[in-house]
Structure 1
Amino acid sequence: MSNLIKTVLFLMASAFLTHLIPFNHFFRSLNTMIHEFAHAIMTLALSGHVMFIELYANHSGVTYSQISSGWSLIPISLAGYTFASLFAWFMFYARAKGKERLGLQTITLVAILSLVLFVRNEYGIMWLIGFVLLNIVMLAFVPRLLRDGYYLLLSFLMLEEAVFGSFSLVLYAMQDPAAAGDATNLAQATLIPALGWAIFFTVFSLWCASRSLRLFFGGRKPRKSRDHTRAFQPRYEE
């Protein structure tokens, strides 16, 4: 069985299982936050102006910005889906290295920056506040085993949303190319149709997912423990 088929089947099974977990709906906005944050950071990197971001309860979001040149629309539109897929890969990489705490700190930092700098609608603000507070509790007060389980849940939800979100873009592009979000923006700025860009995002997300799952099945690198023992120096008395 090819790696692609294995990846798709495992993600489908993962999506079914994570849907059984209470409150999983709340955590699925993580992918949206990362997606819109990537748009905002790329806009700023290209000397554009980010007015604000809105996050919605249905896991969608939008970044309102002003750009100085038409060509900058291409990297800005590319940033959302590609960075979300890469971030999911990063989360599994951190776990494989035994650095779940660092991964969770990184997610929390992105949420805080989004809250302070970009997000302005009521649902988005309330979601970010709740998410940040929950992460702080996990980092400061929860046993490591439970915290690492929470991080693994976030990792799989992030991976699932990255892949299935890209695939849903293919369906939107097939039904109405003018309503396919980032793929539509890229089609307007290039000669490639929206469906082509949607397929690109999907293939890229699956490539990142296959590497993420390889890290997951490869196991975790054990944490280094400090050796507090001292060498015994025998004393001989004459």
Structure 2
Amino acid sequence: MSNWLKTILFLIGSALLTHLPLIPSSFFRNLDTMVHEFGHAAMTLALSGKVMYIELYANHSGVTYSAITNSWALLPVSLAGYFTASLFAWFLFSAYARGKQRLGLQVMTVLAVLSLVLFVRNMFGITWLIGFIVITILVLALTPKWLRDFYYLLVAFICLEESVFGPFSLVVYALNNARSAGDATNLALHTGVPAVVWALLFTLFSLWCAKRAVQAFLGRKKGSRAQRPQTSYTTYRD
């Protein structure tokens, strides 16, 4: 089975599993939104712009209000949101493949704290960030390893799913109404390149990152099997 087919099946399976009634996936979907908006804010600051504030909404959308003096800077700032979210999902699975789940949870917490202190100003966003920070710190400090790993993988799978289906939905929006495609619309207005082209770029990059994430995850599983202590069954086969 090709890596691309594995990636597509993996994403479909993730979407089905994370939408089960007993899994509180809706709450954690805002993590992808937070990372997306944090990417915009970080790139704005890196290019000497000013971030006024970020708002996160209950429908898993968000917006970053910023001021940029150089018009050319709009290109990297607009690209940063979806690119950052895709790279973050890949990072989570790469950390898992190296057994660095605690590091991944710590990075989530740090990003949430920075967003809370520096950027997010609307009530829902503040409330969600406080809740996510408290839950993640409790998981880090008090839960057994199996529960911590379950929490980590739940969040990682949701981020992976959102990082791909988010830009894919942008393609649909761009085809139906080019002015309702968010970052793709902003890029189209300032470059003349159609919004659907930018949306496809976001989608292709997210799929590439997803493929790398799936390879890391499956590689971890294969590595774990290869490193198991020899058993009587293994001796018999030899």
TM-score by length of 2: 0.91
Q: Which amino acid aligns with 2:147?
A: L
Retained in 2: the 8 A contact 1:98–1:221? no
Deviation string for 1:67-97 (max 9, x for gaps)?
Answer: 1011000000000001100010000000000
State which structure, 1 or 2, has the greater radius of gyration over its C-alpha atoms: 1
Q: Which amino acid aligns with 1:17?
A: L
Aligned to 1:10: 10
Bigger helix fraction:
2
Q: Which amino acid aligns with 2:108?
A: I
Deviation string for 1:15-40 (max 9, x for gaps)?
Answer: 11111143111001010000000000
Q: Which amino acid aligns with 1:72?
A: A
Q: How big is the shift at 1:188?
A: 1.4
SS at match of 1:219: helix
- Please tell me the root mean square deviation across aligned C-alpha atoms, in Å: 1.5
SS at match of 1:43: helix
Aligned to 1:187: 188
Aligned to 2:78: 77
Task: State the percentage of identical aligned residues.
Answer: 63
Retained in 1: the 8 A contact 2:98–2:220? no
Retained in 2: the 8 A contact 1:96–1:221? no
Aligned to 1:37: 38
Retained in 2: the 8 A contact 1:95–1:220? no
Q: How many residues align?
A: 223
Aligned to 2:146: 145
Mapped to 1, the partners of 2:148 and 2:172 lie a distance apart of: 36
Aligned to 1:55: 56
Deviation string for 1:99-148 (max 9, x for gaps)?
Answer: 00001000000000000000000000000000000001001111111101
Retained in 1: the 8 A contact 2:93–2:213? yes
Stretch moving more, 8-17 or 72-81: 8-17
- Runs of 4 or more off by more than 3 Å in structure 1? 220-223
Retained in 2: the 8 A contact 1:166–1:198? yes
Q: How big is the shift at 1:168?
A: 0.2
Q: Which amino acid aligns with 1:13?
A: G
Retained in 1: the 8 A contact 2:168–2:203? yes
Q: Which amino acid aligns with 1:115?
A: L
Unaligned runs of 5+ in 2: 225-238
Mapped to 2, the partners of 1:222 and 1:150 lie a distance apart of: 22
Mapped to 1, the partners of 2:163 and 2:193 lie a distance apart of: 22
Q: How big is the shift at 1:189?
A: 1.8
